[in-house]
């Protein structure tokens, strides 16, 4: 089993380190690397979440409550803590092709 953390943001990398998360850092995610039991952390679009789940992987979304003035900015690990950053598991499935 491999855990992947999909991010390009230094603040998110530091936040994960502070949480004790050990994962392979991935900047450009490709779902074809996922094997059953793998875990993906990050903020993926729904179609990639569905692909992860279809391949037997788990997806944990990096959530936080951002005020409007913080959106679109690079956040520090401290900012992420302040905005309640957490990992929440989601599942997605494509219904129609």
Show the domain range for 64: 3-90
Joined together, the tokens standing for residue 83 give 């905005």
Q: Is 62 within a domain?
A: yes
pLDDT score of 96: 83
Each residue of 32-46: pLDDT tens digit?
Answer: 999 999 999 999 999
Q: Is 26 within a domain?
A: yes
Q: Is 96 within a domain?
A: no
Distance CA 23, CA 81 (A): 19
Number of domains in the chain: 1
Q: Is 36 within a domain?
A: yes
Each residue of 74-93: pLDDT tens digit?
Answer: 999 999 999 999 999 999 99
Q: Is 70 within a domain?
A: yes
Distance CA 23, CA 20 (A): 10
Each residue of 21-30: pLDDT tens digit?
Answer: 999 999 999 9
What is the value of pTM for the model shown? 0.92
Contact between residue 92 and residue 53 where contact means Cβ atoms under 8 Å apart: yes
Each residue of 44-68: pLDDT tens digit?
Answer: 999 999 999 999 999 999 999 999 9
Q: Is 97 within a domain?
A: no
Asked if pLDDT for residue 97 goes beyond 90, the answer is: no
Contact between residue 42 and residue 85 where contact means Cβ atoms under 8 Å apart: no
């Amino acid at each position: 089993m491999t855990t992947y953390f999909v991010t390009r943001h230094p603040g998110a990398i530091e936040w994960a380190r502070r949480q004790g998360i050990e994962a392979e850092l991935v900047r450009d995610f490709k779902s074809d690397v996922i094997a059953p039991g793998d875990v993906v952390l990050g903020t993926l679009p729904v179609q990639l979440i569905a692909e992860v789940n279809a391949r037997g992987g788990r997806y944990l979304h990096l959530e936080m409550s951002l005020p409007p003035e913080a959106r679109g900015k690079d956040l520090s690990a401290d900012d992420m803590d302040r905005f309640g950053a957490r990992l929440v598991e989601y599942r997605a499935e494509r219904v129609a092709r």
